[in-house]
Homo-oligomer: A and B are copies of this chain.
Amino acid sequence: MTDLILQSEPLEAIKFAPWGEVIEVSGAPDKIINQGMCGRHHDLAKLDFADGRAGISLFNAKARHLPLTLDMVERHPDGSQAFIPVTQTPFLVVVANDNQGTPHGIRAFVARAGQGVNLHRGVWHGVLTPLEANGIYAVIDRIGNGANLEEHWFTSKITIR
């Protein structure tokens, strides 16, 4: 593989659909509750666990900056993984398709404040990458036994800008 320069693009639900959901307030709520004081945007992410159970964790991640070098992507064969910024920190969401165990067709999306993502089970993705500032993220993923992790390290230089 030759060196690659990848242009990041704004995160949009329709573009991101092959790899997961964008968790954001969009359109009218599915239900109005609490005597009209609250709109419920219902069940926005496909949580999918081979075993174990859903849990809530917090990830406290250091800032990175564009352009950056993408060294690796990883995937979790046993469960989906959702990232919801609680500090409204934009972050880079790198995803890729799979070709017989190797990532290809890498895309890089920038989630703006107010957007989270859910990555479908087994999707190749970059590590959590807050942009410009440190960020804290609620992570809803599989709690269970086993490593539930595959990594792919790139041998050529991939730059995301």
Cβ contact within 8 Å between B29 and A44: no
If A34-B128, A37-B127 touch, does A53 touch B47 (CB 8 Å cutoff)? Answer: yes
CB closest chain-B residue, reference A29 = B60
Write out the residue numbers on chain B whose beta carbons fall within 8 Å of the beta carbon of A45. 55-56
If A84-B84, A85-B86, A116-B138 touch, does A38 touch B57 (CB 8 Å cutoff)? Answer: no
- Range class of the A interface residue count: 35 or more
Which residue of A33, A88, A138, A143 has the most chain B CB atoms within 10 A of its CB atom?
A: A138
Write out the residue numbers on chain B whose beta carbons fall within 8 Å of the beta carbon of A61. 34, 37-39
Q: Is A92 an interface residue (CB 8 A)?
A: no
Determine how close the nearest CB of chain B comes to the CB of A15; give it in whole angstroms: 20
Residues of chain A in range 1-58 having any CB-CB distance to chain B below 8 Å: 23-25, 29, 33-35, 37-45, 47, 53-58
Write out the residue numbers on chain B whose beta carbons fall within 8 Å of the beta carbon of A64. 37
Q: Given A40-B139, A45-B55, 14 more contacts at CB 8 Å?
A: A24-B58, A37-B62, A37-B64, A38-B128, A39-B59, A39-B61, A41-B58, A41-B60, A43-B143, A44-B55, A44-B57, A45-B56, A86-B114, A88-B88
